[in-house]
């Protein structure tokens, strides 16, 4: 296992759409390294483009900071259902350390993804897990959390980040 370098905004790769994972066996080491990187950072989620790999893959663990480890690796994830209910909360990003944005997200989602055995899975997520999954999915589509903000709020976040 090794800790990978996390790309920082404005690296151009963070604005690119990722390609689907074709071969699960080829990314097993990457997934292990991504978990190691995420826990070391310390974060709750990490998408492949954040470590320079342009593949539709993210890892997450919504509860580990509270002592309940629930690691989840999602290959080729997509949201198949989302509630109209929204929750707004502070989101940080390992690719933009030191700033937090108030982002509105779906309160509950149904996530479809392939796991490391190649099995297609479906999972309902709420709370922090739903927010983390949506945040990481954005990375796979070339979006940062601040891209979900109004132009004014986005500009303020970028000014704050540039001042760090």
**Residue 1 counted as domain residue:** no
pLDDT value, residue 50: 98
Give residue 147's pLDDT.
96
Lowest-pLDDT range, 62-66, 107-111, 127-131, 136-140? 62-66
Does 23 map to a domain? yes
Residue 149 covered by a domain: yes
Checking if the pLDDT of 79 tops 80, the result is: yes
Query: What pLDDT, on the 0 to 100 scale, is given for residue 70?
Result: 93
CATH number, position 93: 3.90.45.10
Mean pLDDT of 71-76: 98
**Domain-located, residue 79:** yes
106-140 as b/e: b if 16+ CB within 10 A: bbbbbbebbeeeeeeeeeebeebbbbbbbbbbbbb
Q: Is pLDDT of 160 > 80?
A: yes
Question: Is 5 within the bounds of a domain?
Answer: no
* Share of residues in the chain with pLDDT > 70 (%): 100
Number of domain units in the chain:
1
The lowest-confidence range among 16-25, 62-71, 142-151 is 62-71
Residue 19 lies in a domain: yes
Domain assignment present for 94: yes
Contact 130, 153 (CB under 8 A): no
User: Active-site residues: which are they?
Assistant: 136
Q: What percent of the chain has pLDDT over 90?
A: 96
CA 15-16-22 angle, 5° bins? 145
Which comes out higher in pLDDT, residue 68 or 14?
A: 14
Whether 67 has a pLDDT exceeding 80, the answer reads yes
Q: Is residue 7 part of a domain?
A: no
Asked if 69 contacts 87 with a C-beta cutoff of 8 angstroms, the reply is no
pLDDT(1) > 90 = no
Res 32: pLDDT? 97
Give the single-character DSSP code of 44: S
Q: What is the span of the domain harbouring residue 155?
A: 12-163
Average pLDDT of the segment spanning 100-126: 97
Give the separation between CA 94 and CA 11, rounded to whole angstroms. 13
């Amino acid at each position: 296992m090794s800790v990978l370098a996390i790309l920082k905004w404005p690296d151009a790769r963070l604005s690119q759409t990722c390609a689907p994972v074709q071969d699960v066996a080829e990314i097993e080491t990457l997934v292990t390294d991504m978990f190691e990187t995420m826990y070391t950072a310390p974060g709750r989620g990490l998408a492949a483009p954040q470590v320079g790999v342009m593949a539709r893959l993210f890892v997450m663990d919504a509860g580990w900071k509270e002592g309940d480890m629930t690691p989840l690796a999602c290959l080729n994830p997509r949201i198949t259902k989302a509630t109209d209910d929204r929750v707004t909360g502070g989101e940080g990003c390992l690719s933009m350390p030191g700033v937090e944005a108030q982002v509105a997200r779906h309160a509950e989602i149904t996530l479809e993804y392939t796991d490391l055995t190649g099995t297609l899975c479906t999972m309902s997520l709420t709370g922090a897990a739903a927010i983390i999954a949506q945040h990481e999915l954005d990375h796979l589509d070339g979006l940062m959390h601040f891209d979900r903000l109004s132009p004014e709020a986005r500009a303020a976040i970028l000014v704050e980040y540039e001042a760090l």
